[in-house]
Amino acid sequence: MGCWTDVVDTTLQRQLGDEIAEGGEAKVYDHGTTLVKSIGLDYFIQPIFALDRIALHNAYFPETRLTVLGFGRDSFGDFKIIAEQPFIAGEPVSDEEIADFMHGMGFELRNPRNWTYATPNIYLSDMHDENVIRSAHGAIFVVDCDIRINTPELHQGGIRHLTTDIVWNAE
């Protein structure tokens, strides 16, 4: 797609046309069989967390994997991650169907107000009908969600602890 030295959203609009969707964290552009997302760090807070969440998304939902294409800044100077994702045509899924799908993956509904599901290890929110779709063949796909390691600080039954400490075990 080229170099991201220009303002990211201007470059994407020039190359791909107008955005087709905009959420709280990303602008989405049509690229034929894929979507290109300009993901803002206001949502992810720090770049390392954004990359962790992309890796978690890819591990749990490989059919809608995100491939990082590059990095840039928008017209406000905010850092953006540019990612590509397979385009899947589909229809919205009901909250009940999402709950059944998530229970089948071992997740428990923890907060219906923000569509949060969790296991002791993983936290998922924003699991609503704009982020979970059913394909023409009936398969359910998660195209967007807030996924992260479930720590006790999230108050969703998490048991994981994040640390940057390194333990050297020299024998």
| Res. 44: pLDDT tops 60 | no
Is the CATH number 2.40.160 carried by domain 8-86?
Answer: no
Close Cβ partners of 10 (under 8 Å, ≥ 6 residues apart): 75
pTM of the model: 0.85
| Res. 164: pLDDT tops 90 | no
Query: Domain segments of the chain: what residues?
Result: 8-86, 90-154
Cβ atoms of 28 and 22 closer than 8 Å? yes
Give the residue from 47, 37, 128 showing the smallest Cα distance to 84.
37
pLDDT digits (tens, 9 = 90+) for 62-118: 999 999 999 988 888 888 899 999 999 999 999 999 999 999 999 999 999 989 999
Residue 77: exposed, middle, or buried by beta-carbon count in 10 A (0-12, 13-18, 19+)? exposed
* Rounded CA separation 33/96 (Å): 29
The amino acid present at 48, given as its one-letter code, is I
Q: What value does the mean pLDDT of the chain take?
A: 88
Three-state secondary structure readout of 56-102: HHHHHCHHHCCEEEEEEECCCCCEEEEEEEECCCEEECCHHHHHHHH
| 3 band by pLDDT with thresholds 50, 70 and 90 | very low
| Res. 124: pLDDT tops 50 | yes
| Res. 48: pLDDT tops 90 | no
Report the b/e string of 82-94 with b at 16+ CB within 10 A. bbbbebbebeebe
| 9 band by pLDDT with thresholds 50, 70 and 90 | confident
